[in-house]
Amino acid sequence: MFKKIFGLGFILSLYSFVGQAQEKIPTQSVFVELGGAGLIYSFNYEFRFDKENLESWGLRVGAGGYGRVNGIYDGRETNAVFTLPVQVTRLFGKGKHFFEVGGGTTFIYAKRTYKYGNQYDEYSDFDFILESDNTPAFMGTLNLGYRRIPVDGGFTFRANLTPIFNQNGFWPIWAGVGFGYAF
């Protein structure tokens, strides 16, 4: 008799625990973004400041970049870029469909090296859509777009218009697409 009562109590507590776990709102996500605030591509982590409300302010931090080696004539050219996007975002919507707005900055570090025999030339400028002169540098980013977040978490999708700007100008037509997992 004691085993049956204990087993029933265990099953009910497990059911209650599973029910609570399913009610958790997916206020965190990890995603990869092509274009967007990371400029080329970036791997990102985002969380909402209010853990009980998806329609709240959040913070997104990522890292991206690329490296490339080209053979030119009798020398060699090496390009390397590192980007670190940081944005504050806000979601508006219900269910799994949200409108996203936000803004922030992207830290940029770039290095180009030319090697001819024993001679090296190094440059740290970054010309991607807008010139950034010498790096390290910062580029401002805005964010307007769509985000799909499943109610129980899981696969998430985003498509954003991401205008960028710096001391050399403003580029209103830049976009990004992201895929990831919300939890």
pLDDT, tens digit (0-9, with 9 covering 90-100), for 105-125: 999 998 888 777 777 778 777
Give the per-residue pLDDT at 55: 93
What's 106's domain CATH number? Answer: 2.40.160.20
**Do the domain assignments include residue 40?**
yes
Q: Is the pLDDT of residue 178 over 70?
A: yes
Q: Is the pLDDT of residue 7 over 60?
A: no
What is the sign of the dihedral through the CA atoms of 114, 62, 84 and 164?
Answer: positive
**Do the domain assignments include residue 97?**
yes
**Do the domain assignments include residue 165?**
yes
Prediction pTM value = 0.78
What mean pLDDT, rounded, does the chain reach? 85
Q: Output the DSSP codes for the chain.
A: -HHHHHHHHHHHHHHHHHHHHHT----EEEEEEEEGGGTTEEEEEEEESSTT-SSSEEEEEEEEEEEEEEEETTEEEEEEEEEEEEEEEEEEEETTEEEEEEEEEEEEEEEEEEEETTEEEEE-EEEESEEEEESSEEEEEEEEEEEE--TT-EEEEEEEE--EEETTEEE---EEEEEEEE-
* Res. 66 pLDDT band, cuts 50 70 90: confident
Residue 81: which domain range?
26-182
| pLDDT tens digits for range 120-158 | 778 777 777 787 778 899 999 999 999 999 999 999 999
Number of domains in the chain: 1
Give the per-residue pLDDT at 9: 54
| pLDDT tens digits for range 20-37 | 445 688 999 999 999 999
| Number of neighbours of residue 12 by Cβ within 10 angstroms | 10
**Do the domain assignments include residue 9?**
no
